[in-house]
Amino acid sequence: MKISSSVKVSAVSLAIGAVIGACAAGANQPNMQAALSSLQAARAELIQARPNKGGHRDRAINLVNAAINETEAGINYAGD
């Protein structure tokens, strides 16, 4: 059984559309994107702060890094 060229093109187009749609779903998350931007700004401020904070600054940087990773994972998960 032969498959026509138009059916092949339609199938490929559908597959590409599904991939693009999944990516768009991950990108259309304004609250998560805003949270990510805020976390990145907070990390930048912490890095610029003087380090004499009894280790609290360093722990805060590590916690913000973990929050950034979790937020990015949430954005990516929603795109799946």
pLDDT (0 to 100) of residue 78: 81
Neighbours of 4 (CB within 10 A): 8
DSSP-based helix, strand, coil % in the chain, nearest 5: 80, 0, 20
Extract the tokens encoding 36. Answer: 């990510």
Q: What is the pTM of this model?
A: 0.65
Give the residue ranges of the chain where pLDDT is below 50: 22
H or E, element range at 11: helix 5-27
pLDDT (0 to 100) of residue 57: 97
pLDDT (0 to 100) of residue 3: 60
